Amino acid sequence: MELHADLGQRAVLDTLALPWIPSPMPGVERRMLDRRGAEVARATSIVRYAPGSRFERHSHGGGEEILVLEGTFRDESGDYPAGTYLRNPAGSGHAPSSATGCTLLVKLWQMHPADQQRVVIDTGEAVWRPGLVPGLEVLPLHGFGSEHVALVHWAPGTRFPPHSHPGGEELFVLKGVFEDEHGRYPAGHWLRNPPGSVHRPWSEVGCTIWVKTGHLPASMAPDGDPAPLVP
């Protein structure tokens, strides 16, 4: 299956308008954002666990990255409430579940095999830093090589000067409305700007976004080989 699989192309989706697709496990559904592969795939999805649903223990050959959007996610290592950021490195395994139900932003098969740091951050307790322009606050979540992941809060009326993303940019709007010269993106929108893209973002009403940069020149394919930027 290929869905928005060309990483050299811009993609914009209102995830709230997408259908829920059943997964192989009862009670677990997905809204697919990008995908290359079948059940073992390089994929970005919104995943919803019904209360009491679970997956059998499985491994993630290409790693797994999670942001808990709603509810409480769980595995044998602990409980992760809304706002928790997780990274399970390539080769790791777990048996995930949710007693009360949860919704997650999930990325699979997109980690460098040498990035072996497991990350668990409760973003509700973490310390934010001033951003590069007045009105911005940044909560760094992870960095490896050229890849950087963070939450960014934009106060109402904040504007950022035009800039480029040599390694691409991907973001998910958590609250408020993010904007640039290409459009207006309320909460629930997912964007992917390809390597070399340029934009001039702002937010009139304020927003909070999850953002990742520097990761698009090569992703890890399900067979373990680097996937080319353009298939």
Contact 231, 5 (CB under 8 A): yes
User: pTM for this one?
Assistant: 0.92
**What is the tens place of the pLDDT at every residue in 149-205?**
999 999 999 999 999 999 999 999 999 999 999 999 999 999 999 999 999 999 999
> Tokens 């949710």 belong to which residue?
98
How far does CA 133 lie from the centroid of its chain?
Answer: 24
Q: CA torsion sign, 111 to 223 to 43 to 74?
A: negative
| Structural fold of domain 129-213 | Jelly Rolls (2.60.120)
Please give the chain's pLDDT, 231 residues, in tens: 898 999 999 999 999 999 999 998 899 999 999 998 777 678 999 999 999 999 888 788 889 999 999 999 999 999 999 999 999 999 888 899 999 999 999 999 999 999 999 999 999 999 999 999 999 999 999 999 999 999 999 999 999 999 999 999 999 999 999 999 999 999 999 999 999 999 999 999 999 999 999 999 744 333 433 333 222
Identify any residues that bridge with 152 across adjacent strands, giving them in sequence order: 138, 209
Buried b (16+ CB within 10 A) or exposed e, 121-134: bebeeeeeeebeee
Residues 6+ positions from 117 with CB-CB distance below 8 Å: 87, 89, 142, 144
Sorted by where each begins, the domain ranges of the chain are 2-9+18-122, 129-213
2-9+18-122 and 129-213 have identical folds:
yes
Contact 65, 73 (CB under 8 A): no
Tell me the CATH class for 2-9+18-122.
mainly beta
How far does CA 174 lie from the centroid of its chain?
Answer: 11
